[in-house]
Amino acid sequence: MITILIAGLLNFNTYIPQLTQENPLLVYGLLFGLIFIETGLVIFPFLPGDSILFLVGSISTFSLQGLNLLTIIIVLSISAVLGDFVNFEIGEHFGTIIARSKLGSRFVTEKKLEKAQFFFNKHGAMAIILSRFTPLIRTLTPFVAGMSKMHYIEFARYNLVGGISWITMMTFSGFIFGSISFVKSNFELITIVIIFFSLVPTILSAIRRKHK
């Protein structure tokens, strides 16, 4: 599944501009769904959200009719915030059941939960914001916050700030760098680089654990 998704992303700059001209509302809907699934459903922590956001920001600079950057930020910010709210509720009401079930334990492993719990304990409420910029942790932190019975109002405040900050920074970065001619002519290569760097924190963490 991951391979198929990445393969699709490598052609993002080809089919998204075309689809934007034919049905822009469908494009916004698909993007909304992708971000919501990654942030809201705890069994999908492997989706490359950072790459999607950067690429969409980049595409908004050179597609024929273009995706509107402000609309992208608003729509995807709502998706990211709602996703974390759903994830928090799942963790609060069904966290233990999912973690112990046969199907859930395949995706939400004990090691992943321990890693997310350590991150949450280390950074406190700020983990809700900081986790947005770390793959895997981004999906598991609201789930762990719900399991830990974090105060709902406090979570809502940090979730709002974190969601908007993540979407804005990643899409705006893509918008800025997407106008560079080198990025336009080497978009597939840039995509691979983005995916690689989005996985670097996870890789380094695994290496450190192995050495310890």
Q: How crowded is the C-beta side of 132, counted as CA atoms within 13 Å?
A: 26
Could you report the per-residue pLDDT of 158-191, keeping only the tens digit for each?
Answer: 999 999 999 998 888 888 876 677 666 666 666 6
- What letter represents residue 139's amino acid? T
Could you report the per-residue pLDDT of 113-138, keeping only the tens digit for each?
Answer: 777 777 777 777 788 888 888 777 78
Residue written as token pair 């922590």: 45
| pLDDT value at 58 more than 90 | no
Angle at which helices 49-62 and 24-40 cross, to 10°:
160
* Tokens at 171, concatenated: 């899409």
Structure confidence at residue 84 as a pLDDT band (50, 70, 90): very high
The rounded distance, in Å, linking the Cα atoms of 128 and 131 is 6
**Inter-residue contact 54 to 180 (CB < 8 Å):** no
Locate the domains of the chain by residue range.
2-211
- What letter represents residue 163's amino acid? G
Residue 96 vs residues 2, 126, 143, 155, 163: alpha-carbon distances, Å: 27, 23, 10, 19, 25
The rounded distance, in Å, linking the Cα atoms of 43 and 136 is 10
In 101-186, which ranges are continuous DSSP H helix? 104-107, 110-123, 127-130, 137-147, 152-177, 181-185
Structure confidence at residue 20 as a pLDDT band (50, 70, 90): confident
* Average pLDDT of span 50-74: 75
| pLDDT value at 212 more than 80 | no
Could you report the per-residue pLDDT of 100-112, keeping only the tens digit for each?
Answer: 777 666 666 677 7
| pLDDT value at 10 more than 70 | no
Residues contacting 183, CB < 8 A, separation 6+: 58, 177, 190
* Average pLDDT of span 12-37: 79
Q: What is the mean pLDDT of the chain?
A: 76
* Tokens at 33, concatenated: 């769904």
Structure confidence at residue 146 as a pLDDT band (50, 70, 90): confident
pTM over 0.95: no
In 10-68, which ranges are continuous DSSP H helix? 12-22, 24-40, 49-62
136 vs 10, which has greater pLDDT?
136
**Inter-residue contact 52 to 67 (CB < 8 Å):** no
* Average pLDDT of span 25-44: 85
The rounded distance, in Å, linking the Cα atoms of 180 and 176 is 8
Any idea how long the chain is? 212
Residue 163 pLDDT: 93
